[in-house]
Structure 1
Amino acid sequence: MEIYISEEDILGNIQDRFREVYPYLKLEFFLYPHPVQGPSDLGARVSPETPVEVIRMVHSFGWVDVSDNRTVEEVETDFCRDLGLYVQVFRRTRTGWLETTRTDNLTLGEQNAMGKENVETEMSVIPAE
């Protein structure tokens, strides 16, 4: 699966296309990169309404491969290197969203499966009325 990023794109559109494929993951965009295996500065998160043109460092457009066999690290690197966009993948947990900084070596498919398992586990422990 590939996502096309155009010069006229809005960050929220990219996020929506990613979530269509990976409902238990999300992409967040930042003004600058996060340290290796470190958290992103949440104060530098960019609004989904922001046009790509406003924040990218490389003025090109094209495809980003987000196939389920690619690691989080590979995808984040591609966004940065090829398009000049700083992204962080987050995974759904029982209580919210977790940055995947310590598990960037896992594939998008593995991360999405972990998120799904977390949500399903949460739903199974909710008592019936």
Structure 2
Amino acid sequence: MEIYISEEDILLNIQNKFREVYPYLKLECYLCPHAPGEPSDYHQRVPADTPIEDIRLVHSFGWVDIGAHRTVADVERDFYRDMGLAIQVFRRNKAKWLQTTKTDGLTLGEQNAMGKESLTTETEQEA
């Protein structure tokens, strides 16, 4: 699975395309990339209505592979290297969203399944 990023995109379009594939994950964009295993700084988060031309460092357009077999670390690296976008993947954990800092070695498919499971477990416990 790949998503296309055009020069006219706004960040929200990219986030929505990603969420269509991974409903228990989300992307946030930041002004600077985070170090491996470290969280992104909340104060550097970029609003979703921002045109990507205003924030990216590499001015190209094209496809980014977001296949379920890809690790979070690889996808975050590709977004930065190929598109100049410093993204962070978040995973749903019950009622919260967690940055995947300590689990960047897991695949997007594994992360999405963990997010789904956290909601299923919470719903079963409430019943």
Residues 65-103 of structure 1: per-residue CA shift (max 9 Å, x gap) = 000000000000000000000000000001310000110
Q: Does 1:66 align with 2:54?
A: no
TM normalised by structure 2 equals: 0.98
Aligned to 2:78: 78
1:26 match: secondary structure: strand
Aligned to 2:13: 13
* Cα distance in structure 1, aligned partners of 2:120 and 2:44: 31
Give the superposed CA RMSD.
Answer: 0.6
Residues 36-75 of structure 1: per-residue CA shift (max 9 Å, x gap) = 1001001100011000100000010100000000000000
Q: Does 1:49 align with 2:49?
A: yes
Which segments of structure 1 move beyond 4 Å, counting only runs of 4 or more? none
Please, which runs of 5 or more residues in structure 1 have no aligned partner?
A: none
Q: Does 1:92 align with 2:92?
A: yes
* Cα distance in structure 1, aligned partners of 2:35 and 2:69: 23
1:36 partner amino acid: P
2:4 match: secondary structure: strand
Percentage of pairs with the same residue: 65
Please, which runs of 5 or more residues in structure 2 have no aligned partner?
A: none
* Cα distance in structure 1, aligned partners of 2:113 and 2:71: 13
2:120 match: secondary structure: helix
TM normalised by structure 1 equals: 0.97
* Aligned residues between the structures: 127
1:46 partner amino acid: V
Aligned to 1:107: 107
* Cα distance in structure 1, aligned partners of 2:103 and 2:6: 29
* Cα distance in structure 2, aligned partners of 1:6 and 1:46: 18
